[in-house]
Amino acid sequence: MNRPPEDVRAKVERFVRANFRLPGTLSLHRAALGWDMLRAPFNVALAPVFLVVMLAAAACRLARLRRAGAWLGSRKILLRTSVARAVERRIAADLLSGAKLDPVSRKLIDDYTGLRSAVAEITTSLIVLVVGLMLFGTATPGITSLAPIVSGYVAHSSAVASFPLGSALGGVWYGVFPVDLPVWFVVATGVALAMVASLVTTFAGIVADPLQAHMGIHQRRLLRLLDGIAKVEVQPSGLAPEHFLARLADVTDAGLSLSRLFRL
């Protein structure tokens, strides 16, 4: 991409300052209060499906199966959130001067809002990782690795508190004889934590947006978006590193959980 004109850069900077600095992103995320809190867990669950479908589309294009690649690439996997609609409206009104969106522009903006969703997942994984390190002294990049630790802590604390001879002796007793942890309790804890994590993901942009604005990430993405709209150019795969990073967190989470399981 050639260096954009200064007036375009200034317009993008004003847009980022108005929408992705802390006051702007707080205003933007008011749209999430409602159905987005139900859409978020579905989108988190559908995100791996989205990645697989987009990779399949890219593979079809490499194999010169253009019709199959185009069909797969045009599939709407993720649910459209109210925040994504709000971002689209603001881009159309402020950056595109109120122009009516054509299919190419809408696809490019969809890809842009999809990136924001992937970054929200990455932010949630980092938050879970920090919580695990601070509270339990161990790496927990996701709910799969956090659930057994939390359920074990809850079960141990409950057993110690209800020990017939007092909590002091209960701590000694269960330090020698660990609490038996039912599988259903671990699963139930994981489900509860996943629900909390999906809510965190819904509002993760409140943390991620100002950081990305400060680092210039939002500005670069928006400049690429405007360049693509001007050239009527859509990236065929619809993929970006953020989608792979979000899934890498899932793989790391599963790997840590399996390693701990086999150590037990």
CA Rg value for the chain? 22
Higher-pLDDT residue of 203, 46:
203
Residue range 188-246, pLDDT digits in tens: 988 888 888 888 999 999 999 999 999 999 999 999 999 888 876 555 555 678 877 87
Q: Give the position of tokens 């400049």.
A: 223
Q: Is 100 within the bounds of a domain?
A: yes
236 compared with 81, residue with greater pLDDT: 81
Q: Which structural domain, as residue segments, surrounds residue 109?
A: 7-135+205-244
Q: Does the residue 95 lie in any domain?
A: yes
Residue 60, domain member (yes or no) = yes
Q: How many CB atoms lie within 10 A of CB 170?
A: 18
- The predicted model gives 135-164 an average pLDDT of 85
Q: Tokens representing 158?
A: 């409950």
Neighbour tally for 217: CB within 10 Å: 18
pLDDT score of 139: 82
Q: Does residue 44 have a pLDDT over 80?
A: no
* Percent of the chain predicted with pLDDT > 70: 93
Mean pLDDT of 68-95: 88
In degrees, rounded to 5, the angle at the alpha carbon of residue 109 between the alpha carbons of residues 15 and 81 is 95
pLDDT, position 53: 85
What pLDDT is recorded for position 30?
A: 93
User: Is position 33 within any domain?
Assistant: yes
Sort residue 239 into left (φ over 0), alpha (ψ -120 to 50) or beta: beta
Per the structure, the count of domains in the chain is 1
51 within some domain: yes
Mean pLDDT for the stretch of residues 66-73: 83
For residue range 158-182, what is the model confidence (pLDDT) as tens digits?
888 888 878 888 888 878 878 887 8
> From CA 198, how far away is CA 124, in angstroms rounded?
8
Give the pLDDT score at 222: 95
Q: Is residue 36 part of a domain?
A: yes
Query: Would you say residue 160 lies in a domain?
Result: no
Q: What is the pLDDT of residues 7-43, one digit of tens each?
A: 889 999 999 999 999 999 999 999 999 888 888 778 8
pLDDT at residue number 141? 82
- Mean pLDDT, the chain, whole residue set: 85
Q: Has residue 11 been placed in a domain? A: yes
Residue 207 is predicted with a pLDDT of 94
In the prediction, which pLDDT does 31 show? Answer: 92
